[in-house]
Structure 1
Amino acid sequence: MGLMPQSLAVCCPACRREHVYAAPSYPCVCGAPVTPPLDPRGTPCAVTHRVWAEDWVTVECASCGRRGQWPHPELGCPCGTVVRIPVAGTLSEPGGEVPEVARSRHRPAFQPVTIRTARDAVTAAALYLRWLGYRDIRRADQRPPSGIGLAARGLLAQIDPTVHPAAVRDVECLWLTAMTESSGCAYFSLAGYAPDARTRADTLGVPLFVLDLTGTPQPVNSHADALDSADG
């Protein structure tokens, strides 16, 4: 098969406006950039509702051969339509699993993605969890009272992309849900945490992270420091 283009002309299915779309690159854990291959023969479609399985595509790193899940390429048209770009040559994972990220003391530095939208915040948290070595990252079965929930093998994560600091109730709800599922947990917030939420998280053993706009999770308490430095 020939090389797929890294950019192509896209016509918005709603207003018929023409765009030139360039495929984004994401960092593989080996450090090489991974770019979803665009399909010039495919048909762009409007995103009318979100389905987790359709928001991600599995692409093989050309450098190390590792298969990873990355956000499905999308374009925001000025008319307000979100256009999903067709992708070629993606791979299916048995059972829908994300390949395990090898944990080692020689793990490369985390490569963040810039946060501009709530979806970017979820992507940043998912990439970070993969970098830590968690498998089968997906939408959580139970929707949290606020924010967005992600689940992985052995961990339940909550991502709060709002401009309000996370409250103590948010931390307690995450901890209780994780306890019922016999799972660990972690909280990611863009706006930080209320003082009583931080105190309660320390008591319950909940790792707290703040997502800066570069997409890098910053540990807020000692539990987050321990998770960030874990070698698996």
Structure 2
Amino acid sequence: MPRSLPLRCPACRREHLYAAQSYPCACGAPVAPALDPGAHAVAVPHRIWEEEWLTLCCAACGRRSQWPRPELGCPCGTVLRVPVAEEDPARPPAAAPARAARPAFQPVTIRTARDAVTAAALYLRWLGYRGIRRADQRPPSGIGLAARGLVAQVDPTVRPACPRDVECLWLTAMTESAGCAYFSLAGYDPEARTRADALGVPLFVLDLTGTPQPVNDHADALAHRGR
């Protein structure tokens, strides 16, 4: 598929050349949508959240993440939706390079909020993330952690996480061009889990032994492959 595509504005008939923008996967490899030379650009009359995002597969690690659907602004004021070749969800992702077996995770018993943060940080390190620190941007609830290529939120409260918590973490990760993960002591309400599944956010529950337990497919995949 081409990395650049000639486009014609349907409103003013002006010609444009669009070059596909790449995004950094959490593994560090660039990910870019495949442009569809057989389709035409269409005007965006109004915004619909579900139509704003594409699920793209990283060819290096096989990670599937959501990224903004490409658009182009014409000088006439029309916003053009760039045609892309949709991925086949049945197509298996590229095989990731072989990794050495990880040792078993060594948890810490959770008695305090600080213990919950420590458990999440240790787990991220076990997954292969480095440079773990307190995040510069404080989340609306809980405590933020950051590592190379990832932002995480640790919620040690007794309130299950809500959809807004998940969306705020995801938006922070998008701003930083990073992956993300959510760790909660009290779990997640059903709408939060649904939103996380749609946005590709891994959700973990911290049990009192200090071992994060995956609660959705994205978390299962992260726990299995690591960074």
Q: What SS does the aligned partner of 1:150 have?
A: strand
| Correspondence 1:135-214 to 2 at 5 A | 135-214=130-209
| CA displacement 1:145-174 (0-9 Å, x = unmatched) | 000000000000000000010010000000
Higher-Rg member (1/2): 2
Distance 1:231 1:210 in 2: 17
- Deviation track 1:94-119 (CA, whole Å, cap 9, x = no partner) reads xxxxxxxxx94421110100000000
Aligned to 2:54: none
CA contact (8 A) 1:105 1:231 kept: no
Q: Which residue of 1 aligns with 2:107?
A: 112
**1:213 partner amino acid:** L
Q: Are positions 1:216 and 2:217 aligned together?
A: no
For 1:197 and 1:171, locate their aligned partners in 2 and report how far apart those are by CA, in whole Å. 6
Q: Would the aligned equivalents of 1:104 and 1:231 in 2 still touch at CA under 8 Å?
A: no
Contact persistence 1:115–1:121 (CA under 8 A): yes
Gapped regions of structure 2 (runs ≥ 5): 1-97
SS at match of 2:165: helix
Aligned partner of 1:132 in structure 2 is 127
- The residue type equivalent to 2:162 in the other structure is A
Paired residue type of 2:224: S
Deviations 1:1-45 (A, max 9, x none): xxxxxxxxxxxxxxxxxxxxxxxxxxxxxxxxxxxxxxxxxxxxx
SS at match of 1:171: helix
Q: CA offsets, 1:108-155, max 9 Å, x none?
A: 110100000000000000000000010100000100000000000000
Q: CA separation of 1:166/1:186 partners in 2, compared to 1, >3 Å: closer, same or farther?
A: same
TM-score normalised by the chain length of structure 1: 0.55
Distance in 2 separating the partners of 1:231 and 1:188: 16
- CA shift, 1:231, in A, is 4.7
Is the aligned partner of 1:122 residue 2:117?
yes
Q: Aligned-pair RMSD on alpha carbons?
A: 1.2
Q: Which has the higher contact order (CA 8 A, sep 6+)?
A: 2
Mapped to 2, the partners of 1:113 and 1:139 lie a distance apart of: 19
- Name the amino acid aligned to 1:130: R
Aligned length, in residue pairs: 130
Q: Secondary structure at the match of 1:127?
A: helix
2:168 partner SS: helix
Q: For residue 59 of structure 1, what is the aligned residue in structure 2? A: none
